[in-house]
Amino acid sequence: MKAFQTICRQLRSSKGFSVEPTTRVDFSTSSYSCSRKKKVNPYEEVDQGRYSDLVQSVLSSRGLAQTPESLFEEDNLLYGPVSKCKPPKQDEAAKVPGNWCPLFNPEKSMKPNATSTPTIPLRIPLQRNTIPSVTKVLQQTMTSEQIFYLERWKQRMILELGEDGFAEYSSNIFLQGKRFHKALESILSPQGDLKERDENLESGYVESVQHILKDVSGVRALESAVQHETLKYVGLLDCVAEYQGKLCVIDWKTSEKPKPYIRNTFDNPLQVVAYVGAINNDANYSFQVQCGLIVVAYKDGSPAHPHFMDTELCSQYWAKWLLRLEEYTKKEKNQNIQKPD
């Protein structure tokens, strides 16, 4: 070891040996340099004290279980207190019409005999008089909600089509519905023109109801007027015929939107049941009807939606119709009182 130390001292003292630091060599080009600036961490600019308190509070609450009470308090803080609806009053929920009249007439037979069944469907013209129509009663007694949605739809259509465009659209819808009813009248009538029937088959609406027409037979009335002799209202029904073996008032409707449920047809069930009650109390009709059918047809030919109304369902809507009729009568009476002499 001493010998090694002696050799090292001799080497350092010799002139030909020196220990110098290595010279740094940089490689560079005209467009790039190997030396890069140190990246700045964006989190260094964050308030570390507040950030650490936040992380600690989140981590410390992870293990806490939520309870219904804590969830309710959290929702109350975020969204505000819950607004509870008032329950309906008992008198409104169980409102009974004061103008009660039975839907079915005990004096008429439920099953007419062969001699009373007409071979040609009845077509009684509608007489214009002071007696209100079913359509007028329903229009004059719409709820505020119905009026709101109807007006909103109208304004949206006017905004999209303009005043003239909306008027033309409404006219076209009316004409399409009228042609559809004429086509069905020609198809269901034994006196219909065969050429006209073939032309009507090309209609999308008629194509839409083909699977319904297969179950329709025994047509008793077409585009015929009815009048309830006791309740004093009139109407013009589309058809009375057997559907799957049951005699029904059939109401043909057109729609641009699918209506797969009866609730989608709005006041149409009230209209149908009003016609049922009128037929059963109209001396022009020797038979009695217990059921209804609403058929919603589509222009593109897609299968129509049939909504069958049995005796029980008709009875439920009959009570609602009587309330609407009673409301209309009261409005008319009040308006007559307020009119100056």
- Could you read off the pLDDT of 23-58 as tens digits, one per residue? 444 444 444 444 455 565 655 665 666 556 555 554
For residue 316, pLDDT beyond 90: yes
- Could you read off the pLDDT of 250-283 as tens digits, one per residue? 999 999 899 999 999 999 999 999 999 999 999 9
> Given 26, 178, 238, 330, which residue is catalytic?
238
| Residue 293 near residue 306, CB atoms below 8 Å | yes
Dig out the tokens for 264 from the structure.
């989608």
CA distance linking residue 133 with residue 91, whole number of Å: 29
Selected residue with higher pLDDT from 94 and 175? 175
Question: How wide is the angle at C-alpha 278 spanned by C-alphas 277 and 284, nearest 5°?
Answer: 130
* Active site annotation includes 253: yes
CATH number of 134-334: 3.90.320
For residue 73, pLDDT beyond 70: no
- Could you read off the pLDDT of 113-150 as tens digits, one per residue? 544 555 789 999 998 778 999 999 999 999 888 888 88
* Active site annotation includes 238: yes
CA distance linking residue 272 with residue 264, whole number of Å: 15
> Given 38, 84, 91, 251, which residue is catalytic?
251
- Could you read off the pLDDT of 187-243 as tens digits, one per residue? 998 876 555 555 655 589 999 999 999 999 999 999 999 999 999 999 999 999 999
Tell me, what DSSP letter sits at residue 339? Answer: S
- What residue segments make up the domains of the chain, in order of their start? 134-334
| Residue 296 near residue 304, CB atoms below 8 Å | yes
* Buried residues in 282-315 as b, exposed as e (16+ CB within 10 A): beebbbbbbbbbbbbbbeebeebbbbebeeebbb
Selected residue with higher pLDDT from 108 and 63? 108
CA distance linking residue 143 with residue 320, whole number of Å: 13
CA distance linking residue 190 with residue 301, whole number of Å: 25
* Active site annotation includes 26: no
Q: What are the φ and ψ backbone dihedral angles of 260, each rounded to 5 degrees? A: -75, -15
Cα of first residue to Cα of last residue in the chain, in angstroms, is 141
Kind and range of the H or E element at 2? helix 2-13
> Given 37, 95, 195, 253, which residue is catalytic?
253
